[in-house]
Amino acid sequence: MDQVRDYDRYLRDPVNVDCVLKAFGYVPVNSKLAVLIGRDPDRMEYETLMQRLGEVDVQVVTYDMILQTQANQIGFR
């Protein structure tokens, strides 16, 4: 999560505008911080994860969340 925050600070630093433009073709304005992790946690891990999520400003996304979102978009359950 610290690495994600470091990237965010780098992207927003005016000193790096030229480098960011060269790499991406634009400077992100309203980006959200997120970390993609493995599968959804089991019950015991879930409680620990929820506690940690309340302590950070970075969204945590699991592969299962992405799959469910895609399934919902195509009407597959």
**pLDDT score recorded for residue 19:** 92
Residue with tokens 């089991």: 42
Lowest-confidence segment of 1-10, 12-21, 50-59 by average pLDDT:
50-59
Question: Beta strand pairing status for 34-37 and 59-62?
Answer: parallel
Nearest to 65 by CA among 57, 73, 55: 73
Q: How many helices (H) and strands (E) does the chain have?
A: 4, 2
Reported as type and span, the H/E element at residue 22 is helix 17-24
Read off the pLDDT of residues 8-39 as tens digits, 9 standing for 90 and up.
899 889 999 999 999 989 888 887 888 777 77
For the chain, the domains span: 1-28, 32-77
Q: Is the pTM of this model over 0.75?
A: no
Q: How far apart are CA 8 and CA 30, in angstroms?
A: 11
